[in-house]
């Protein structure tokens, strides 16, 4: 199992912070740097929210080793044609290091503020499925593509130049939902990214995905298994729990959040590796400027 960083791009992210985080991820041995794609934070005063594709283009040109990508980019406010086109270009620029996380959209505040239609849940996931169809056809087909849906239409559409990586960047679908998300992952994803799962729940959800892959006629090994969860890290267990400001550390642990010092972090990483997590994205949200903390976390998590 390798370990990557994940940050929330709407919680005060600006260019100096992003550039510092990118350099830190590269220098300290993390396997990747991933970020959310939102216009604004879910609640509270609006904070800086650096544009997703501008930030990933900077990573492509200014790092050489780490993988990166959105966890995840919504089709609700990013048209899938533009997303496929941009993703192919950024992946090529990076030498094949982008992993393209896609989602249906969920945050009501940003959709209302900027005039995007979130849709009711069933229609939202119908649109998401069409978006996945558009993205995967454009990236994976070397012939012109036509498609007629309720939300998107293509007429002999072709992205040129073709992606340097055959099929374009891998498609990542994140989420745990057994009725909508996992079936879409079984059909379209190169990587499934579980979200805030304990090792025990990861096993259950992973097995459910295996069953859906079998129904779709896909071998289990064709889909990479990764997990994103928050880490609250301190010099010891007490220092980590103090960062919660009185929050219930045990309740967070029960949701799969890693809270503790070096010994507890190593123990939890080993537990996730044992159940088959191939990459763990550690969500770092306490202080984007705490580069010393990120360096200490790297010494603990990646050696």
Residue 230 is part of which domain span?
A: 2-301
Residue identified by tokens 């620029």 is: 93
Those residues with Cβ within 8 angstroms of residue 148's Cβ, 6 or more apart along the chain or in another chain: none
pLDDT value of position 286: 84
The stretches of 119-261 forming alpha helices (DSSP H) are: 121-140, 181-188, 199-216, 237-242, 249-254
Per-residue pLDDT of the chain (303 residues; tens, 9 = 90+): 999 999 999 999 999 999 999 999 999 999 999 999 999 999 999 999 999 999 999 999 999 999 999 999 999 999 999 999 999 999 999 999 999 999 999 999 999 999 999 999 999 999 999 999 999 999 999 999 999 999 999 999 999 999 999 999 999 999 999 999 999 999 999 999 999 999 999 999 999 999 999 999 999 999 999 999 999 999 999 999 999 998 999 999 999 999 999 999 999 999 999 999 999 999 999 899 999 999 999 999 997
> Could you tell me how far CA 183 lies from the centroid of its own chain?
18
Q: What is the CATH number of the domain that holds 208?
A: 3.20.20.30
Crossing angle of helices 181-188/121-140, nearest 10°?
10
Positive or negative CA dihedral for 274, 27, 51, 40?
Answer: positive
pLDDT of residue 61: 98
With the C-alpha atoms ordered 33, 116, 54, 15, is the resulting torsion angle positive or negative?
negative
- Contact indicator for 70, 101 with CB cutoff of 8 Å: yes
User: Residue 41 in 3-state DSSP?
Assistant: coil
- 283 class by beta-carbon count within 10 Å (0-12 exposed, 13-18 middle, 19+ buried): buried
> Using an 8 Å Cβ cutoff, are 169 and 139 in contact?
yes
Helices marked H in 103-180: 108-114, 121-140
CB-based contact 261:240 (threshold 8 Å): yes
Contacts of 46 (CB under 8 A, 6+ apart): 40
Under 8 Å CB-to-CB from 142, ≥6 apart: which residues? Answer: 162
> Could you give the number of structural domains in the chain?
1
Enter the tokens of residue 272. Answer: 């996730």
Q: What is the pTM of this model?
A: 0.97
**Is residue 151 classed exposed, middle or buried when 0-12, 13-18 and 19+ CB atoms within 10 A define those classes?**
middle
């Amino acid at each position: 199992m390798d370990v990557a960083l994940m940050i929330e791009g709407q919680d005060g992210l600006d260019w100096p912070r992003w550039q510092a985080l990118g350099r830190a991820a590269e220098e300290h041995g993390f396997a990747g740097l991933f970020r959310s794609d939102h216009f604004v934070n879910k609640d509270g005063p609006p904070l800086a929210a650096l544009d997703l594709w501008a930030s990933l283009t900077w990573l492509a040109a200014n790092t050489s080793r780490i993988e990166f990508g959105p966890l995840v980019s919504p089709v609700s406010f990013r048209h899938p044609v533009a997303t496929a086109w941009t993703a192919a270009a950024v992946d090529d620029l990076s030498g094949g290091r982008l992993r393209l996380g896609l989602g249906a959209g969920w945050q009501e505040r940003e959709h209302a503020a900027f005039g995007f239609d979130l849709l009711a849940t069933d229609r939202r996931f119908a649109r998401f499925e069409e978006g996945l169809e558009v993205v995967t056809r454009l990236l994976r087909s070397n012939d012109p593509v036509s498609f007629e849906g309720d939300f998107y239409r293509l007429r002999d559409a072709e992205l040129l130049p073709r992606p340097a990586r055959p099929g374009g960047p891998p498609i990542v679908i994140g989420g745990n939902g057994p009725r909508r998300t996992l079936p879409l992952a079984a059909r379209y994803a190169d990587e499934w990214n579980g979200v805030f799962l304990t090792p025990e729940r990861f096993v259950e959800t992973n097995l459910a995905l295996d069953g859906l892959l079998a129904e779709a006629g896909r071998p289990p090994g064709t889909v990479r298994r990764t997990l994103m969860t928050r880490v609250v890290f301190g010099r010891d267990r007490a220092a980590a729990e103090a960062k919660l400001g009185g929050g219930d550390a045990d309740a967070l642990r029960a949701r799969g959040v890693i809270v503790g010092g070096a010994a507890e972090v190593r123990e939890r990483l080993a537990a996730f590796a044992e159940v088959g997590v191939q990459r763990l994205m550690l969500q770092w949200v306490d202080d984007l400027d705490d580069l010393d903390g990120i360096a200490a976390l790297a010494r603990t998590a990646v050696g």
